[in-house]
Chains A and B, each alone.
Chain A
Amino acid sequence: MNKMHLKKIASLKRNFLLNSEQIRYRNTEIGRYNFLEYNLNDALVIQPKIILH
């Protein structure tokens, strides 16, 4: 039971990290955008589709 729980927790944490990493990456790109100088298109990064386990 304990082993199953640990496996489940590890899987949940992995997915959580994946999501947070994607959000962080987008925010970094948008934060870097200077809306007067650059084309906004550069900042609008669409993530590859998230596959949840």
Chain B
Amino acid sequence: MAQKSFFILYIFCLLFFVSTSQNPVQIIDSLKIQLNKATKDIDRAKIIADLTWYYSMVNTDSAYVYGKKSIYSAKKIGDSTLIAQALSDFAVVNYSKGDLKTALDYYKKSLLIREKQRDSIGIASLHYKMGTAYHKKTQLDSAMIYYLKALKFYEDTGNEVLANSAESNIGALHFNQKNYNEALRFFNKNIIFFRKTDQSKLLGNALVNKASIQLVMKDTLEAVKTLKESIKISEAINNVETLGASYNNLGEVFMAQNKIEQAKDALSKSIQYRSNSNMDADLTSSKLTLAGIHNTLGEYKKARLLLDEIRPFYKREGIKEKLSTLYLQYITVFASEKRPDSARYYSAKYAELQEEIVGEKALNITNELGAKYESEKKQNEILKQRAQLAEKDLEVRRKNTFIFGSLGFAMLLGLLGYLLYNQQKLKNRQLQKEGELKTALAQIETQNKLQEQRLRISRDLHDNIGAQLTFIISSIDNLKYGFTDISEKLGDKLTSISNFTSQTIYELRDTIWAMNKENITFEDLQARIANFIEQAKNASERTEFSFTIDETVNETHVFSSVEGMNIYRIIQEAVNNALKYASADEIEVNILKEEGEYFIEIADNGVGFDQASIEMGNGLNNMKKRAREIGGKLQIKSSNHGTRILLRVPK
């Protein structure tokens, strides 16, 4: 009896369903033209890599040749990305050829490079492909590990299509491990997603897988429905691989239902589609099933032809179960041909192989149980690790949130503090400025008020006392001229009082002026002295006057108004005395500067006077008093030849 082989399709190469919108043969032709034109090594290497890839879909032998060339070209250029790609492509070719060991070796080489490059997308793709290689090699625990790694990446990066593909293969693994319910859960999920996203090829695969589970669960009617749906969808996009699997599985169902002709039709179609695909093992399996159908129908020659065709493959691959079925079919064929020796030979071979298979099965069951246990254990460990990782991740996120939150809060506080500090600083500056201005204003107001006050007093003095003094002078003059019989002595006295009062008026005016004036420049003082001398000249034409200022005197020097006034009055008094009493015909006024002092000299060539014998009159006393007021010294030297008065004023 032929053994049932329901095909479970797992999605092998992720790019297959991306790139099949174009015919690979057309692409290959176009690439070959490009290869002939390409001159640069890098361009040629890329084209050869593409050729390897597209050939792997249609012709594994050509793909193998180009794969080798691709590795060589990439290594020649030394581009590690290209080398990794070439190694991966060559592994795909070996996978298609059924050389899974070599395929895995090249996948691992490619993985090493991509891990160095930290190419996470490339790594996930390799994990996925290695999962399929281990899957096909029936190393289910390793397959599960790689599928889960790929699944985690695709889930983390939000790639739903690839995540569903990985889940589809995990479902297939569960199927292989006879976890049918778990497998069905994955396939149903896949069907919903692929239907929603309009992924026809992947939907066809998922339906085939679901049908296989339905068949195992003896739900034949539903399985046929599911397979027919898969066939309909796959025919619409000419998906030969899925069609091959669907018809193969449908043939197996018809066989089980003893619908031999329908089974024959289905298997023939499966072989037809699989001849166009590149999966030798699947094609051979379908042929073996068809050979069994031929035998059942008594078409021994057709059966023999098929068996002879597929025998080298199974011998080479050493697939014992299939080989055993093959021998069994040969026994039937040779029995029908009445060749007892050959039938006996294959009968013995069959018995021998069965013995081996039973032994191996027992071993496999033990190993499988062990593997299943290990796989579950590893899966649990992986799940545990994932949970731990997720927990750690959450913890890190919490910590990060706390740290960043605290930092943000601290920065906010800092910013607020800084703003408040700045605000306060600005306020202080403004207050300081206002304070300074207020102080300055208060000072200037005080100064202004003081000046105003002084002016009022000055006006009062001038208007009242000045007017009264003028009235006194006027009264004395009236008295003198009104009374003609007054004695000469009284007359002189009255004149003296009148002069004294006039002098008082002048001094009052000087005081008022000095009180209101802050200072007087030397230049101003000089002009006033010159002006006075000019008036004196007019008054006494026979007297020679000279006024000299030494070059050492700084004309920009500033005296206080009191200093200026007293210096001027001393000069005025001295000149008046020389004119009045000394009968001088030469009067000199000299100003010079020596060692920080000003020397003001008033000299005449008059009769002079004896300081010891004459009483100091008001004039001399006034001069001395004025000199003292300004911190200066007054020296008087007088002889028969003239008088010299020297005033020293500190600078």
Chain A residues at the B interface, C-beta cutoff of 8 Å: 1-2, 5, 8-9, 12-13, 15-16, 19-20, 22-23, 26-27, 30-31, 33-36, 40-41, 43-47, 50, 52
Contacts and interface: CB of A to CB of B under 8 A. Distances in A.
B427 interface: yes
Interface string B428-457: 001001100110110011011101100110
Given A12-B434, A46-B452, 18 more contacts: A2-B430, A9-B433, A9-B434, A9-B437, A12-B437, A15-B445, A16-B437, A16-B440, A16-B441, A19-B441, A19-B444, A19-B447, A19-B448, A27-B518, A34-B528, A41-B463, A45-B455, A46-B459
Contacts of B531: 36
Contact of A26 (B445, B449, B455, B512): B455
A42 B53 CA distance: 117
Contacts of B452: 46-47, 50
A12 B441 CA distance: 7
22 contacts: A2-B430, A5-B430, A5-B434, A15-B441, A16-B440, A16-B441, A19-B441, A23-B444, A26-B455, A31-B517, A35-B509, A36-B532, A41-B462, A41-B463, A43-B516, A44-B455, A45-B455, A46-B456, A46-B459, A47-B448, A47-B452, A50-B452
Interface in B513-568: 513, 516-518, 528, 531-532
B423 to A, nearest CB: 9
B459 A44 contact: yes
Q: Which 5 A-B pairs have the closest CB atoms?
A: A12-B437, A19-B444, A5-B430, A19-B448, A35-B513
Given A36-B528, A36-B531, A44 B447 contact: no
Given A5-B434, A36-B528, A46-B456, A16 B444 contact: yes
B458 interface: yes
A47 B456 CA distance: 10
Given A43-B513, A46-B452, A13 B437 contact: yes
Contacts of B510: 35
Interface residues of B, number: 32
Contacts of B430: 2, 5
Nearest to B509: A40
B503 to A, nearest CB: 14
A8 to B, nearest CB: 6
Nearest to A6: B430
B511 to A, nearest CB: 10
Contacts, number: 76
Contacts of B427: 1
Contacts of A31: 517
A19 B513 contact: no
Contacts of B434: 5, 8-9, 12
A41 to B, nearest CB: 6
Contacts of B455: 26, 44-46
A20 B444 contact: yes
Contact of A33 (B433, B456, B513): B513
Contact of A30 (B437, B445, B447, B517): B517
A43 B462 CA distance: 11
Nearest to B450: A23
A18 to B, nearest CB: 9
Contacts of B444: 16, 19-20, 23
A44 B462 contact: yes
A44 B437 contact: no
Contacts of A8: 434
A28 B189 CA distance: 106
Contacts of B448: 19, 22-23, 47, 50
Nearest to B527: A34
Contacts of B459: 41, 44, 46
Contact of A23 (B426, B438, B451): B451
A9 B431 CA distance: 10
A40 to B, nearest CB: 5
A50 B441 contact: no
Contacts of A16: 437, 440-441, 444
A49 to B, nearest CB: 9
B458 A44 contact: yes
Nearest to A23: B448
A19 B509 contact: no
Nearest to B447: A23
Nearest to B512: A40
Nearest to B565: A35
B454 to A, nearest CB: 10
Contacts of B462: 40-41, 44
Contacts of A1: 427
B445 A19 contact: yes
Interface in B477-531: 509-510, 512-513, 516-518, 528, 531
Contacts of B517: 27, 30-31
A8 B532 CA distance: 52
Contacts of A50: 445, 448-449, 452
B178 to A, nearest CB: 83
Nearest to B524: A31
Contacts of A34: 528
A48 B322 CA distance: 130
A16 B531 CA distance: 39
A9 B451 CA distance: 25
Interface string B135-149: 000000000000000
Interface string B591-620: 000000000000000000000000000000
Contacts of A23: 444, 447-448, 451
A13 B528 CA distance: 38
A52 to B, nearest CB: 7
A27 B451 CA distance: 10
A22 B463 CA distance: 23
Nearest to B441: A16
A20 to B, nearest CB: 6
Contacts of A2: 426, 430
Contacts of B426: 2
A6 B449 CA distance: 27
B467 to A, nearest CB: 11
B598 to A, nearest CB: 22
B441, B458, B513, B518, most chain A CB atoms within 10 A: B441
A14 to B, nearest CB: 10
B586 to A, nearest CB: 24
B93 to A, nearest CB: 79
